[in-house]
Structure 1
Amino acid sequence: MNQTKKELSYFRLKLETYLNDYHPELMTDAAFISARVDAALTAYCDAVEQGFSHLEAEAMSSEVLYQGLHFSKYNNLVSILENEFAEELPDSLPQELAPILLGNKFIQAAFAKYDLTDDFDGSTEYEALYTELTGTIVQLIENNNLPTVGKADTSK
């Protein structure tokens, strides 16, 4: 029982750390986290019972733990903000703006057009999404009359 509790805590910590870094919008989804942690623990125990080494069992449980989480909407938005708006935004702002943008209906509509699988960022559609999100962010800035540091400085 103590071993199971320890492993359960390990998988929870591992998943929560990953979610915090790549999917902060899922950090409050306790049901998702519990279900995923339980599935990873089961995969680990099953693998060990079947004779796999602890390292192999760890790799198998990690596949279960992170399934469907390899593509990150949050990281995608941070990358766009850092790459396309570097002159307009201070260094720390992309990480603060990305969660706000994730809640925007226009940003969500752009993401909804694509099948965001674990290997999406290597697909040909990734560039189309990147371009669409960049354009959507520009429209949000323009439609809401938000100042852009880089543009404001160059117009003086």
Structure 2
Amino acid sequence: MSTVVKDLSYFRLRLLELLVSSFPEKVGDTAFVNQRSAHCASAYEQAFKEGNSHDDSIRIVEEILFEGLHFSRFDTVFKVVCREFDRLMSDEEMRPSALRMLPVCEDVFAKYPLIANFQDGPDYELLYTEVTGTIHLWIEENGLQ
């Protein structure tokens, strides 16, 4: 039983680490975090019982842990803020500004199929340009609050 509790904490921490850095809009979704990490603990235990090594079991479970978390809207907005608006704000203001801009850009993101590896496809540059324009317009209308 202690192995499952230990693994649950491990998977929970891994998931929260990713959410904090790339999916901050999901950090407060405790039901999602609890369900996903508990499911991963069970899947790890099952994979290990089936004869997989620890490392192989972790690789199997990471597919579950990070399912649907391959393309980060926040990372895209943060990249735009850092590259295109770096002269307008200090380094310390960039992450908070990107967090503020994330909901502003939701309509832009809604136009694209944000699947795994989207950033490697031809539509990513269009998305990047639209996000840049949306943020630029928002700053013109509202200033850097």
Q: TM-score range by the shorter chain?
A: over 0.9
CA–CA separation in structure 2 for the residues paired with 1:120 and 1:41: 29
Q: Provide runs of 4+ in structure 1 moved above 2 Å.
A: none
Looking at structure 1, the residues matched to 97 and 86 of structure 2 have their Cα atoms a distance apart, in angstroms, of 13
> Please, which runs of 5 or more residues in structure 2 have no aligned partner?
none
SS at 1:64's partner residue? helix
Q: TM-score normalized by structure 1? A: 0.87
Q: 2:124 aligns with which of 115, 123, 126?
A: 126
Whether 1:88 aligns to 2:88 is yes
1:9 Cα deviation (Å)?
0.8
Unaligned runs of at least 5 residues, structure 1: 148-156
Q: Which amino acid aligns with 2:48?
A: V
Report 1:1-156 matches (<5 A): 1-104=1-104, 107-144=105-142, 146=143
8 Å CA contact 1:102–1:108 kept in 2: the answer is yes
Tell me which amino acid in the other structure corresponds to 1:140.
W
Give the distance between the partners of 2:46 and 2:2, measured in 1 at CA. Answer: 18
Q: What is the alpha-carbon distance in structure 1 between the residues aligned to residue 89 and residue 20 of structure 2?
A: 22
**Counterparts of 2:117 and 2:68 in 1: how far apart (Å)?**
9
Output the amino acid matched with 1:133.
V
Does the residue aligned with 1:92 lie in a helix, a strand or coil? helix
Tell me if structure 2 keeps the 8 A contact 1:67–1:118.
no
**Greater Cα radius of gyration, structure 1 or 2:** 1
Query: What is the percentage of aligned positions where both structures have the same residue?
Result: 37
The root-mean-square deviation of aligned C-alpha atoms, in Å, is 1.2
